[in-house]
Amino acid sequence: MTGARLVLAASAALLLGGCARQAPVAMPQCPAGLVLPAGAPARGIPVEDTPAGRCLAARAEAGDVAAMLRLGDFYSAIPGDLPLIDRNGRRVHWYRLAGDHASPTGAWRAVALLDIDRDRQVPNDALAYLFTAVKGGIPEAGDYLRDQWEDGRVDPGKLWTLRRWLATPGVLPEVQRRALITGLNTPPTDELAPE
């Protein structure tokens, strides 16, 4: 092999070395019957900073959707105020992470936390999670999307890919699919409906 070919081969090997498949992240093992300490957040300690929460957070960060949902649900279920902890921020984080891992439940719960201003269009990130929830078969998500469409809170251009997906029979139960198509074919109103 000539010097130029040798340099070229070494350069290619070096460049392609970064393309090698990474080893999967090992899923941490948490003790059976793991209990998250409900009193920690009241004292200003995020549950992720406790031994049980640290283990569950490590599992969630490694891709365990059940752990993501459990952490989000934990912050949703804590009664009272948490003046030293951003409860909403932590719920949004864990539910968004679950939605990003294609969890319809996590996506649906993220929508409830992200779409908070009913006088404006549904935010793009909330709409993306709403589509994940609809595609995951959560009937309430389809109802919510139809309602927001009818209230004029969804830009028609943002529904194009969802409409194409809905055109395929079998993607949802037929009754649910037809109801969603019918609702999205209804012209939206110009004003928000009275509550």
Domain boundary assignment for the chain: 46-101, 119-195
What pTM, to 2 d.p., does this model score? 0.80
Kindly state the percentage of the chain with pLDDT values over 90: 63
Q: Residue 11 — very low, low, confident or very high, per pLDDT cuts 50/70/90?
A: low
Task: State mean pLDDT over 151-160.
Answer: 91
Nearest to 28, CA basis, from 6, 47, 52, 12: 52
26 Cβ contact list (under 8 Å, min separation 6): 62
Which amino acid appears at position 7 of this protein? V
Residue 118 has pLDDT above 50, yes or no: yes
**pLDDT on residue 25:** 62
**pLDDT on residue 8:** 45
Reading the block at residue 190, the tokens are 């110009």
Q: Which residue has the higher pLDDT, 12 or 78?
A: 78
Nearest to 70, CA basis, from 55, 51, 49, 85: 55
Q: Residue 82 — very low, low, confident or very high, per pLDDT cuts 50/70/90?
A: confident
What is the rounded CA–CA span in Å between residue 111 and residue 43?
Answer: 29
Q: Calculate the dihedral angle through the C-alpha atoms of 180, 184, 185, 191, rounding to the nearest 10 degrees.
A: 140
180 Cβ contact list (under 8 Å, min separation 6): 134, 142, 145, 146, 166, 172
**pLDDT on residue 145:** 96
Mean pLDDT of the chain: 85
Reading the block at residue 122, the tokens are 């549904």
**pLDDT on residue 75:** 93
Q: How do residues 12-54 score in pLDDT, each as one tens digit?
A: 444 445 544 555 567 778 887 888 898 888 888 999 999 999 9
Residue 94 has pLDDT above 90, yes or no: yes
Q: How do residues 100-111 score in pLDDT, each as one tens digit?
A: 999 999 999 999
**pLDDT on residue 14:** 47
Would residue 102 be called left, alpha or beta, if left means φ above 0 and alpha means ψ between -120 and 50 degrees?
A: left
What is the rounded CA–CA span in Å between residue 79 and residue 68?
Answer: 20
Task: State mean pLDDT over 130-137.
Answer: 96
